[in-house]
Amino acid sequence: MNKNLRDAAQTATVPALIARPATTTTSDWKQALPVLTGSMVTLRELRLSDATSLLTMLSTEEVARFISPPPTTVEGFERFIAWTHRERAAGNYACFAVVPHGMDTAIGIFQIRQLEPGFGTAEWGFAVGSAFWGTGVFMDGARMVIDFAFDTIQTHRLEARAAILNGRGNGALRKIGAMQEGILRKSFLRNGEYLDQALWTILDEDWKQQRVIWGVRVH
């Protein structure tokens, strides 16, 4: 995961039965990403002013351990943020900043990139500052990003890859309802070592079914 972050450098449980607040969406996401409002966080386009906060949040050892190396400077994150805007405008990719209610700057990101033209199959990835782990921020943001993938960009199959050693990453994907399809053997080079990754997927029909179970609106 977070291949895009690497490329540019040159990424408390919410009770399942609580319905999410309405989100603001726009179909023209290539012009500008919609602002998505959840119960704990807002997801919005990254801003250059998020660079310092993202450097603080995502460059720690515990966050970066199982993802492609994030930028190591504010300027590196600024380049990454500018790149996310270009890729969004080109219709290849979307990157949301995670902003907890009451804050102004990003404490993490959710990314989606197309694996085939038109986003029929897409891959998502995420990283959140460790101070916010286990707070429910991931689940709140993840539900909105997955809704965005299936409802706005019309993805059919959403993939995620997580290093087997990444307990939290795999636990988070299991919790959001992804299905583990298999193991991608020695598929991720990290610190000079090839790591096995789990391949997790969510299909659009699975997600719509899950929303029925959660008691959330269905399209």
29 binds ligand COA (CB under 6 A): no
Q: Which of 30, 101, 175, 185 binds ligand COA (CB under 6 A)?
A: 175
Taking the C-alpha atoms of residue 80 and residue 85, their distance in angstroms, rounded to an integer, is 9
Binder to ligand COA among 40, 51, 99, 172 (CB under 6 A)?
172
- Note whether 63 binds ligand COA by CB under 6 A: yes
| Residue 6 interacting with ligand COA (CB under 6 A) | no
Query: Given the complex with ligand COA, which of 32 and 179 has the nearer CB atom?
Result: 179
Candidates 7, 13, 32, 215; binder of ligand COA (CB under 6 A) is 13
Which own/partner contact pairs does 42-45 have at CB distance under 8 Å and 24+ positions apart? Answer: 42/99, 42/101, 43/96, 43/97, 43/98, 43/99, 43/110, 43/141, 43/144, 43/145, 44/96, 44/97, 44/99, 45/85, 45/88, 45/96, 45/97
List the strands of the sheet with 157-163, edge to edge: 36-37, 41-45, 93-100, 108-114, 121-128, 157-163, 193-203, 179-190
**DSSP secondary structure letters along 137-171:** HHHHHHHHHHHIIIIIS--SEEEEEEETT-HHHHH
55 is a contact residue toward ligand COA (CB under 6 A): no
Cβ 89 to ligand COA shortest distance, Å? 26
Query: Which residues 94-153 are close enough to bind ligand COA by CB under 6 A?
Result: 125-128, 133-134, 138-139
Choices 28-36, 38-46, 158-166, 185-193 (CB under 6 A): range interacting with ligand COA: 158-166
Q: Is 162 in the site for ligand COA (CB under 6 A)?
A: yes
Helices (H) and strands (E) in the chain, counts: 7, 8
Q: How far is the CB of 65 from ligand COA (least distance, A)?
A: 7
Between 9 and 91, name the residue whose CB sits nearer to ligand COA.
Answer: 9
3-state secondary structure of 14: coil
Which residues make up the interface to ligand COA (CB under 6 A)?
A: 1, 13, 63, 66-67, 125-128, 133-134, 138-139, 160, 162, 166-169, 171-172, 175
